[in-house]
Structure 1
Amino acid sequence: MSQMRGPSQAGPDKPSRPVGAPPLVRAWAEALAAAAAGIVAMFVVAALGLWAAGASDLPGGAFPRVVAAVVVIAAGGSVDLWGDAGVIVQADAALEVVPLSVTLAGVLATATVFLLPLRHRAVAGTGELLGRVARTALFWLLFLLFLAMAARHSFRISLGDDTADDLGAEFGATPTVSFRADVPATLGLGLLWLLAVLVLTFLVSRRAPLSSRLLHFQNSVRPPAFAMLMVLLGYAVIGLVVGVVVLLTKGHQAETAAVLCLGLPNLAWMALGVGMGGAWTGHVDKGIGLPMPHVLDQALRSRGGDRTLDVGALAAYDGRAWLLVALAAVVLLAAGFVAAVRSPAGVPAWRHALEMAVALALTLLVVGLLTEIFAHYGLSLMGVGDLGGGLGGEIVLQPQLLWLVGLGAAWGLVTGCLGSLLARRVRHRGQVPFTQARRPGAPPGA
């Protein structure tokens, strides 16, 4: 008599379907949600920041198109900016700055929603993960294409009074500023941006399942990567608290809100580098409308040549800048401790130190690259001189990258070693306490 087999049992010639495998429609819906969450979060934060900065008053209904351009830049895309003032008067413009508040909002929203369907799983097949990434990337590119097509506009710039504007119109010298997203570059760089976000998500999150081939990497990569994420987010939260206090007590609410919604991580992560002994060089020549804290504007204000922005330069205008050194020491020591606790027990201190050195050096390299600023707008008559009064101006800020990377490695070695020593008496991830390791029913001490 043959034995009956229930419908949940598969024969040897029919591989069983994984329990809980989402249907195709649900998989596409999850990909759409992940891509949409990132775009919506960035659009909202960018709109709030630009509204606080006064961009809603731009002529010609430019505000939604400017918001689209900022989201494109925050998502890794490329936007060309140029000026024009006719034949007699020339105008030139350039803007290279990443609004990291907008970028961070998109990263957190995309990563969180992408991980939601996977949060209860420890292992996932390579094919399934690649399929999820591919579907999310497809929707991401469609959203970016729509934003890139919308991110183009031209509008007039007032010369400051009605007489000057009338004369400019009479002689065909009315200055305009135009911007347009580079669609191919935006799609290519935006795709790389998304892939980098998803790779970092799998590097830092315990909730992100890995394929069986990559499981042996998680013990050495995830603890320091998670510690660096906590450092960056911690500095962003501290900056947010300080910004809210300034917003409520010091006045200039609109300018402060613009800084928080557009450039909070730019300033907070620079504070990390400066507190570690790093430096940026640059100058501020007049103002061109970019939101910037007063102390930073003072430290970079120059009549000619670049100035060095480090803890000493900031302390010359505000003695509280020395607190950045103490803050960096405390936060990085805590990061070393967290990385050691999340690592398997028995990992030697020298290995923790080496992992932290590599992780912190790479983190500061990325911070340095993301905090570069070059912004310029100017008018000239027949190519000579600068017109426009307060309209012309320039902001330049560049990191000393090699010095930052070297400092990251040095601080990582020290804080990784000290964090490992502090974590020796703390139960590590995956370590079973002695009281739980006894045989069932065995008396205490067995």
Structure 2
Amino acid sequence: MQQPTTRAAGPPGAARGWLDALAVVLAGLVSMAAMAALGLWLAGADDLPEGGFPPVLAATMALAVGGSVQLDGGAGSFAAVDAGITAMPLTVSLVGAVAMAEVFLRQLRFRAVAGGGELLGRIARTVVLWVLALVLITVVAKHTFVIALGGGLVQSIGGALGLTPEVGFHADGLTTIGIGLAWLLFVLAAVFAVSRRAPLPGVLLRYQLAVRPAAFALWMVLLAYVAIGAVAGVLTAIVHGNARQTLAVVVLALPDLVWLAFGIGLGARWHGQLVGALGLPVPEPLSAVLRSPNGKEATVDLGTLAEHDARSWWLLVVAAVLLLAAAFLAAHRSPRTVRFWQHAVRFALATAVTVLLVGLWVRIDADYGLSVLGVGLGQGGLADLLDTVLGGNNPVAGLGSGSLTLRLEFWTAVLLAAGWGLLTGALGALLAARFRHRGEVTESGG
């Protein structure tokens, strides 16, 4: 009986191509929505009034792809809220990226080479559907909450003054769609740079050995930090209590913290400031450093963190060990014909690019403020006046003003990362020389 032959998948037809692209986009949307919903539920957003949970979920997804959310509202013409948030909940981003990459790769399985036209067609169809999805997200990510003033005299005074307290938010369409599109293109580019399962056009095959081993090794470093952070987060939730909010940080923004730790361990410096409440728990040394007592911008690095907790020096040890392990892995996955200095230079470039990307991802710019008749409202002053007039039912009590900023000092960080990559890349190549490299065949054929 003749056995059926297995044939590698070829370029998809028009209908199949669009279905493949739809599968990639849906994988990203569903996985991000599920992770964001779990994190928001843990953070207590499940009891938002007036059907506010779906818009907040959409806003979280907009932030996860690099968009920004604007807060607005106030009390009629009497008071106004001025606020904005630009920060990526990187757990949501990471889950969405991995899901899309996996589905995209499965559609190309069993193939070593793919035509450039076919790959561009797949990417173009995915881009079109992704842009439509981003438009839908920006439409849904909009909501306004009406705050009740109370009854009786308070309500009468509010009506006479034109006070209709509202606080709302909306995703910035231009930023969300533009940066969200760049996010997708980066994810697809990373797929081809990291994974051996991704087929390349013939003209690019000669570059894969120069890129993929180091890129894959640094990807493993980032995932190792996430795994370590997840274990630490769960243990913290169990031992120190406040489990629900701690797990909310893990589900929403774990990579924000652990990849920050990676950069700091290499000697990078972040600059930022924290004013007001964060809402969710973060490591105490980080919070203490950002709350600069003189009101000026603080520097977050190994030294400033160690002033509050000497255990912060372990960040240096963890970064050095994981980077050396990654350098060994990169050299082990490369042919023995690759020269010693090539390992070092390639790994240095990969490390520098990784830290650059971490700096772009772990960037927070969140601020809010309340103005009354154009006058800033903080603690005391007009805030106390409103409390007195409204009898403790001040609809904007507690808003005051606050901000959280965190930005990497890029040039120093990238140069330090390149130096670390050069050193560990050289050591990793020396260690790997003692072992058989991947794909290498011995003289006996073993």
Interval containing the TM-score (normalised by the shorter chain): 0.7 to 0.9
Partner AA of 1:390 in structure 2: G
Say yes or no: does 1:335 pair with 2:326: yes
Question: Pick from 197, 215, 227: which aligns with 2:205?
Answer: 215
Question: Pick from 284, 291, 295: which aligns with 2:285?
Answer: 295
Inter-partner Cα distance in structure 1 for 2:122 and 2:215: 23
Inter-partner Cα distance in structure 1 for 2:191 and 2:157: 56
Match of 1:349 in 2: 340
Inter-partner Cα distance in structure 2 for 1:170 and 1:288: 35
Partner AA of 1:152 in structure 2: K
Q: Could you tell me which runs of 5 or more consecutive residues in structure 2 were left unpaired when the two chains were aligned.
A: 384-395
Change in 2 beyond 3 A, CA 1:167/1:101:
farther
Partner AA of 1:21 in structure 2: G
Match of 1:130 in 2: 120
Match of 2:443 in 1: 434
Change in 2 beyond 3 A, CA 1:185/1:322:
closer
SS of residue matched to 2:59: helix
Say yes or no: does 1:239 pair with 2:229: yes
Match of 2:422 in 1: 413
SS of residue matched to 1:404: helix
Query: Is the contact between residue 365 and residue 404 of structure 1 (CA under 8 Å) also seen in structure 2?
Result: yes
Change in 2 beyond 3 A, CA 1:268/1:60:
same
Say yes or no: does 1:150 pair with 2:150: no
Residue deviations 1:247-298 (CA, integer Å, cap 9, x gap): 1221111211111111100001000011111121212111153553333222
SS of residue matched to 1:277: coil
Partner AA of 2:49 in structure 1: P
Partner AA of 1:71 in structure 2: M
Inter-partner Cα distance in structure 2 for 1:217 and 1:284: 44
Partner AA of 2:9 in structure 1: G
Question: Pick from 54, 58, 82: which aligns with 2:44?
Answer: 54
Cα drift, residue 59 of structure 1: 2.6
Cα drift, residue 19 of structure 1: 4.9
Residue deviations 1:66-122 (CA, integer Å, cap 9, x gap): 101111221233433334333333321111111111100111000011101223211
Match of 1:313 in 2: 304
**How many residues align structurally?**
421
Partner AA of 2:327 in structure 1: G
Inter-partner Cα distance in structure 2 for 1:251 and 1:418: 42
Which piece of structure 1 moves more, 89-98 or 180-189?
180-189
SS of residue matched to 1:434: coil
Change in 2 beyond 3 A, CA 1:365/1:54:
same
SS of residue matched to 1:60: coil
SS of residue matched to 1:391: coil
SS of residue matched to 1:289: coil
Inter-partner Cα distance in structure 2 for 1:339 and 1:421: 12
Question: Pick from 325, 339, 346: which aligns with 2:316?
Answer: 325
Query: Is the contact between residue 287 and residue 390 of structure 1 (CA under 8 Å) also seen in structure 2?
Result: no
Cα drift, residue 177 of structure 1: 2.7
SS of residue matched to 2:170: strand
Question: Pick from 236, 244, 258: which aligns with 1:254?
Answer: 244
Residue deviations 1:400-444 (CA, integer Å, cap 9, x gap): 11111111111011010000000001122332222118xxxxxxx
Cα drift, residue 311 of structure 1: 1.7
Cα drift, residue 20 of structure 1: 3.3
Query: TM-score, with normalisation over the residues of structure 1?
Result: 0.88
Query: TM-score, with normalisation over the residues of structure 2?
Result: 0.88
Cα drift, residue 172 of structure 1: 3.3
Inter-partner Cα distance in structure 2 for 1:296 and 1:266: 12
Partner AA of 1:269 in structure 2: W
Match of 1:20 in 2: 9
Inter-partner Cα distance in structure 1 for 2:180 and 2:208: 27
Question: Pick from 382, 392, 396: which aligns with 2:405?
Answer: 396
Match of 1:276 in 2: 266
SS of residue matched to 1:426: coil
Inter-partner Cα distance in structure 1 for 2:255 and 2:315: 15
Change in 2 beyond 3 A, CA 1:211/1:22:
closer
Match of 1:205 in 2: 195
Partner AA of 2:10 in structure 1: A
Inter-partner Cα distance in structure 2 for 1:319 and 1:47: 36
Which piece of structure 1 moves more, 384-393 or 272-281?
384-393
Query: Is the contact between residue 288 and residue 391 of structure 1 (CA under 8 Å) also seen in structure 2?
Result: no
Query: Is the contact between residue 272 and residue 407 of structure 2 (CA under 8 Å) also seen in structure 1?
Result: yes
Query: Is the contact between residue 50 and residue 56 of structure 1 (CA under 8 Å) also seen in structure 2?
Result: yes
Query: Is the contact between residue 68 and residue 87 of structure 2 (CA under 8 Å) also seen in structure 1?
Result: no
Inter-partner Cα distance in structure 2 for 1:409 and 1:334: 16
Query: Is the contact between residue 159 and residue 391 of structure 1 (CA under 8 Å) also seen in structure 2?
Result: no
Match of 1:84 in 2: 74
Residue deviations 1:277-327 (CA, integer Å, cap 9, x gap): 112121211115355333322221234112211122222322221111110
Match of 2:369 in 1: 378
Inter-partner Cα distance in structure 2 for 1:342 and 1:358: 17
Partner AA of 1:352 in structure 2: H
Query: Is the contact between residue 111 and residue 198 of structure 1 (CA under 8 Å) also seen in structure 2?
Result: yes
Partner AA of 1:341 in structure 2: H
Q: Could you tell me which runs of 5 or more consecutive residues in structure 1 were left unpaired when the two chains were aligned.
A: 1-7, 9-17, 438-446
SS of residue matched to 1:155: strand
RMSD: 2.5
Partner AA of 1:308 in structure 2: T
